[in-house]
Amino acid sequence: MTDTQQWVAMGYIKGVFGIKGWLKIAANTEYSDSLLDYPEWQLRKDGKTLTVVLEAGKVMGDELQVKFEGIDDRDQAFSLRGYTIEIPRESFAPTEEDEYYWADLVGMTVSNKSGIVLGTVKNLMETGANDVLVVEGEYGQKLIPFVSQYIENVDTGNHTITADWDLDY
């Protein structure tokens, strides 16, 4: 894999499970077992990067547990605690029309229908009812529901979003 590809943080290793090298994972995905779709993960912590291959994985309750090739005991597994899990963006499944990965929306410039730049998408929040764009810019922080009522257009090619959102909202 090339160094130019975009890696997306998808969770982190939160602890060990048992004595045979199994790890507990905190997944930042809609479904915790989605990470099992990717056979190779990049782990990153304190400037150090490791590539690991998934040997096995399972969901126990709401917790994802995985085993990497070559990590066969608790001490080896414990040394991976705190690493961020990254997946190459190019390996994500294609989206349906009007569906977007959060990783693709972060960093986009958001303007309103009048052409005023509201800022840049810094993050998204789940509210239960819908996702919300966290936009930061010259006019402060704006929380814009990511629903068709407020989002006029998402232009992935130009990295822009047009929203029906006034400055005083």
What's the pLDDT tens digit per position in 135-155? Answer: 999 999 999 999 999 999 999
pLDDT mean over 28-50: 91
SS3 state at 97: coil
Domains, the chain, ordered by start: 7-91 (2.40.30.60), 102-163 (2.30.30.240)
Element (H, E) at 136: strand 131-137
Mean pLDDT across 34-48: 94
Return the number of other C-beta atoms located less than 10 Å from residue 123's C-beta: 12
Cα–Cα distances in Å, from 77 out to 11, 21, 165?
16, 5, 48
pLDDT of residue 2: 44
Backbone angles phi, psi at 158, to 5 degrees: -95, 0
Q: What is the pLDDT of residues 77-129, one digit of tens each?
A: 999 999 999 999 888 888 888 889 888 999 999 999 999 999 999 999 988 88
Of the two residues 15 and 1, the one the predictor is more confident about is 15
Is the separation of the CB atoms in 41 and 86 below 8 Å? yes
Question: How far, rounded to the nearest angstrom, does the alpha carbon of residue 14 sit from its chain's CA centroid?
Answer: 16
Q: What is the pTM of this model?
A: 0.72
**Integer Cα distance of 112 and 162 in angstroms:** 5
Count of Cβ atoms closer than 10 Å to residue 85 Cβ: 26
pLDDT over threshold 90, residue 76: yes
Report d(CA 47, CA 39) in Å as an integer. 23
Res 4: pLDDT = 61
Average pLDDT, integer, range 19-32? 90
